[in-house]
Amino acid sequence: MLTQLLGKPRSDAFEPASAFASLRGELPQPTPGTLVQAFGEHLHPLFKTRTMQSGLLIAAEPGAPVQAVAEGKVVYADLYQSFGPMVILDHGAGFFSLYTHLEALTVAKGQVLKQGEPLGTVGATLDGPRLGFEIRHLTQPQDPNKWLKIHYK
């Protein structure tokens, strides 16, 4: 999906007041919670297959508010495959944050959010209430914990 967003020049490209890259290590958590699965490669305990987690999977209270980690423009707010309701924010200069497994969306495509503004609530997965949170530069996944002021543990 990000490849499609980046594939052609957009007249509606978002340019924030401050450069997202300068916020590394300073972003707030999108919701309070605990880390269920960290960024990176994981070995399945039963099947011994390797999978790549492109973000963080966070256990949180069901229905807890999820906030924008930085100023950004909503470029996607809808259901997406097995991720359920998902929001993608464009932070400018090729940086995006993705929020998946949401229960309710409180934003619409084209809306501009300030840091800390709500975008939805934590939804349910088969394993309980979870938030999927990713940061990408262009299409390249980044470790979100390295961008957060307080790391998930």
Report, as an integer, the average pLDDT of 81-107: 94
> Does 25 map to a domain?
no
Q: Which domain holds residue 56?
A: 2-8+36-146
> Does residue 46 have a pLDDT over 60?
yes
Total number of domains in the chain: 1
Categorize the per-residue pLDDT at 41 as very low, low, confident or very high, splitting at 50, 70 and 90: very high
SS3 state at 84:
coil
> How confident is the model at residue 104, as a pLDDT?
87
Q: What CATH code is carried by the domain that includes residue 73?
A: 2.70.70.10
pLDDT tens figures, 56-93: 999 999 999 999 999 999 999 999 988 899 999 999 99
